[in-house]
Amino acid sequence: MDAIILQILNGLDKGSAYALIALGLTLIFGTLGVVNFAHGALFMIGAFCAVSMQRLLNLSYITLDETQKDFLGNPLKVKTPYVESWFGPDMGAAIIDWSVPLAILLAIPVMIVVGIVMERGLIKHFYKRPHADQILVTFGLAIVLQEIIKHYYGANPIPTPAPDAFKGSFDFGVMLGFDPNAIIYPYWRMVYFAFAVVIIGAVFAFLQFTTFGMVVRAGMADRETVGLLGININRRFTLMFALAAAVAGMAGVMYTPINSPNYHMGMDFLVLSFVVVVVGGMGSLPGAVLAGFMLGILEAFASMNQIKSILPGIDQIIIYLVAIVILLTRPRGLMGRKGVMEE
């Protein structure tokens, strides 16, 4: 029982990442009709916003320490971050320690700008082109973006730790009456799950309870009629693209303490998130969230030793197997709209 609870918890944080990326993917598909294969790259750019914030806060001045030598025998260059000299060592260190959550403040405007530039500069030219063209051009864009990041940040993963307050893990097992160490779960993963729930809730609330959201939902249902009413739906859709980029970016920022970011992390998530969208139903926001969490949990279960001993390698293919089964039995996905991508 404890092993099952443990894998459900593991699946929740994995599913959170899938759901956040898939939410943006399906939002873009539902509004603009574009299959955006560069969406994983937006997640990756968000993660590198966290790296940039960390570097920004660690900008330092250098003093020479004559008592210590560097590897060439020269006096050691000691770096002191400016924030520590401005706010004092303790306060400065605390600000640096919180660089990942603070990076959200950087990521939101950066991702909105990136989203608008991407949509206006490239993707709008492919609205009326076949999906295959859209996939090709956005996939190419993703490769370009990741190579730019690699050029400036290198290929090696860059550690971006969580604040000290969220390091370590919580013993759920003891709380639920199991033995100590039976169910442990890192604090930051709990934060990530809670963050995902808040963001997903906020996106739904925005679409459900604001006039802007209502117009967007109307546009998703019937773009032409909304346009005939004199509403500039294209501008709203551009902003939705920017919103989707910001969601992916924030998901990337908060993911960095879980796994050190590297330039190809977007690609690692993209294919799985695309499968999540297809399983959930193209253009269905609740479907994307449901499928994200469902597939995350299934993937975690498939990694259990007990399962792998019966079905070796199942952890690598489980998501695709489920996708095949669902698409064979329900071609529009779990919660897909009738007629969308069914032909």
Partner 1 sequence: MSKFHVSRRGVLRTGALAGAGLALPTYLRADTGYLNAPTGSSVTLGFNVPQTGPYADEGADELRAFELAVEHLNGEGDGGMLNTFSSKALQGNGILGKKVEFVTGDTQTKSDAARASAKSMIEKDGAIMISGGSSSGVAVAVQGLCQDAGVIFMAGLTHSNDTTGKDKKANGFRHFFNAYMSAAALAPVLQKLYGSDRKAYHLTADYTWGWTQEESIAAATEAMGWETVNKVRTPLAATDFSSYIAPVLNSGADVLVLNHYGGNMVNSLTNAVQFGLREKQVNGKNFEIVVPLYSRLMAKGAGENVKGILGSTNWHWSLQDEASQAFVKSFGTKYGFPPSQAAHTCYAQTLLYADACERAGTFNPCGVVEALEGFEFDGLGNGPTLYRAADHQCFKDVLVVKGKDNPTSEFDLLEVVEVTPRAQVEYAPDHPMFAGGELGSCNPGA
Among 218, 304, 327, 340, interactor with partner 1 by CB under 8 A: 304
Among 60, 98, 112, 169, interactor with partner 1 by CB under 8 A: 169
Q: For 282, which DSSP code?
A: T
Beta-carbon contacts of residue 251 (< 8 Å; ≥ 6 apart) = 16, 17, 20, 21, 43, 46, 196, 199
Question: How many binding residues for partner 1 (CB under 8 A)?
Answer: 48
Give the nearest distance from C-beta 50 to partner 1 in angstroms: 13
3-class SS letters over 238-263: HHHHHHHHHHHHHHHHHHCCCCCCCC
3-class SS letters over 77-134: EEEEEHHHHHHCHHHHHHHHHCHHHHHHHHHHHHHHHHHHHHHHHCHHHHCCCCHHHH
Q: What is the DSSP annotation of 175-224?
A: HTT--TTSSEEEHHHHHHHHHHHHHHHHHHHHHHHSHHHHHHHHHHH-HH
Among 71, 90, 230, 343, interactor with partner 1 by CB under 8 A: 71
Among 68, 80, 85, 232, interactor with partner 1 by CB under 8 A: 68
Among the residue ranges 2-10, 24-32, 34-42, 237-245, the one whose residues contact partner 1 (CB under 8 A): 2-10
Give the nearest distance from C-beta 131 to partner 1 in angstroms: 26
Window 200 to 219, contacts with partner 1 (CB under 8 A): none
Q: Does residue 8 contact residue 303 with C-beta atoms inside 8 Å? A: no
Among 87, 124, 157, 218, interactor with partner 1 by CB under 8 A: 157
Tell me the longest C-alpha to C-alpha distance in the chain: 76
Question: From CA 58, how far away is CA 164, in angstroms rounded?
Answer: 17
At what angle are helices 39-57 and 2-32 packed, to 10 degrees?
A: 110
225 binding partner 1? (CB under 8 A):
no
Among 94, 135, 213, 303, interactor with partner 1 by CB under 8 A: 303
β-bridge mates for residue 151, sequence order: none
Give burial (CB, 10 Å; 0-12/13-18/19+) of 231. middle
Among the residue ranges 109-117, 182-190, 213-221, 222-230, the one whose residues contact partner 1 (CB under 8 A): 182-190
Question: From CA 280, how far away is CA 20, in angstroms rounded?
Answer: 13
2 binding partner 1? (CB under 8 A):
yes
Our CB check for partner 1 shows the closer of 92 and 186 to be 186
182 binding partner 1? (CB under 8 A):
yes
Give the nearest distance from C-beta 73 to partner 1 in angstroms: 8
Among 39, 236, 264, 332, interactor with partner 1 by CB under 8 A: 264
Among the residue ranges 128-136, 240-248, 252-260, 324-332, the one whose residues contact partner 1 (CB under 8 A): 252-260
At 54, the amino acid letter reads Q
Our CB check for partner 1 shows the closer of 219 and 257 to be 257
332 binding partner 1? (CB under 8 A):
no
Among 124, 217, 308, 337, interactor with partner 1 by CB under 8 A: 308
Among the residue ranges 35-43, 126-134, 198-206, 258-266, the one whose residues contact partner 1 (CB under 8 A): 258-266
Alpha carbon distances (Å) from 112 to 23, 107, 239, 341: 16, 8, 8, 28
Rule CB under 8 A: which residues touch partner 1?
A: 2-3, 6-7, 9-11, 13-14, 68, 70-72, 76, 150, 154-159, 161, 167-169, 181-182, 184-186, 188-189, 257-260, 262, 264-265, 268, 299-300, 303-305, 308, 315-316
